[in-house]
Amino acid sequence: MREQVIRVDEDDRAIGPAGKIDVHRSGELHRAFSVFLFDHSGRLLLQKRARGKYHSGGLWANSCCGHPRPGEAARAAAERRLREELGVDVSVRPAFFARYRAALGNGLIENEFVHMMFGHCAGTPRPNPDEASAVQWIELETLETQIANRPQDFSEWLRHYLRAHRGEIASQARRLCSGTCQPRATVGTGSGR
C-alpha cells in the first residue's frame, strides 16, 4: 500500500488523504512536521539522510522530518518517526507553524504546512540505516558557517528554516537548555524500527 499524507488548506484544515509521492509531484499543500532535538549544551542533532531516500538522499537535515498519516496527530507522528529513524523515545512539544515550498529536483516539489517540534535528547541516537546514514551534534553557529561554506551538503528545508526561523529555533534551544521546558528523552532499548 502506498504511503498517505494529509492534504490541507492554507489554515491547516484537512482536505483529505493523498499519496505521498503524488503530492510531491503535483506540489499540493500537505501537512508535515519538523523536529529539532537539542542536547544539554544546546547542540542540535542533525541526521544525514540515507542515500536511498526518495529525495535529498545523502544530505544533512535537522533531527527528523516527515508527514502524519491520515488520522494521526503531528506530535504523535513526530515521536513515532524519532523512534523509527533514530531509535530514541523523545517527548516533543509543538512550538510554531512554518510554511515551506521548494522544488527538489526529479520533478518533486515540497509544499508543506509544517508543525515545528522541539525536544531534549540526553542519549545517543542509533540511526536506522534505511533512514539515516549518520548523526552529529552541532552548535547552531557552527551549522550556519558550514551551510554558508557548503550549502549543497544540506537539505533545502534545513537551510530554509535557519533563514526564516533562526530566532525562534535559537529561543527554543535556550528554553530546553535552561530547564524551562518539560520534554526529556531516553534512548530506547529496542531498535525502534
Cell of 154: 544540506
pLDDT digits (tens, 9 = 90+) for 72-86: 999 999 999 999 999
> 10 an active-site residue?
no
The range of the structural domain enclosing residue 170 comes to: 4-180
| Rounded Cα gap, residues 172 and 193, in angstroms | 28
Cell digits for 67? 508527514
Q: Quick one: pLDDT band at residue 10, thresholds 50, 70, 90?
A: very high
pLDDT band of 187, cuts 50, 70, 90:
very low
Name the catalytic one among 79, 110, 112, 131: 112
Indicate whether 87 belongs to any domain: yes
Active-site residue, 112 included:
yes
Spot the catalytic one: 64, 65, 121, 181.
65
Residue-level pLDDT at 179: 56
Is 192 inside any structural domain? no
186 in a domain, yes or no?
no
In a domain, 146, yes or no: yes
Q: In a 3-state reduction of DSSP, which class is residue 144? A: helix
Q: 132-184: per-residue pLDDT in tens?
A: 999 999 999 999 999 999 999 999 999 999 999 999 999 999 998 875 444 43
Half-sphere exposure of 6 (CA within 13 A, CB side): 23
Measured CA to CA, the distance from residue 78 to residue 104 in angstroms comes to 22
Q: What is the CATH number of the domain that holds 108?
A: 3.90.79.10
Domain tally for the chain? 1
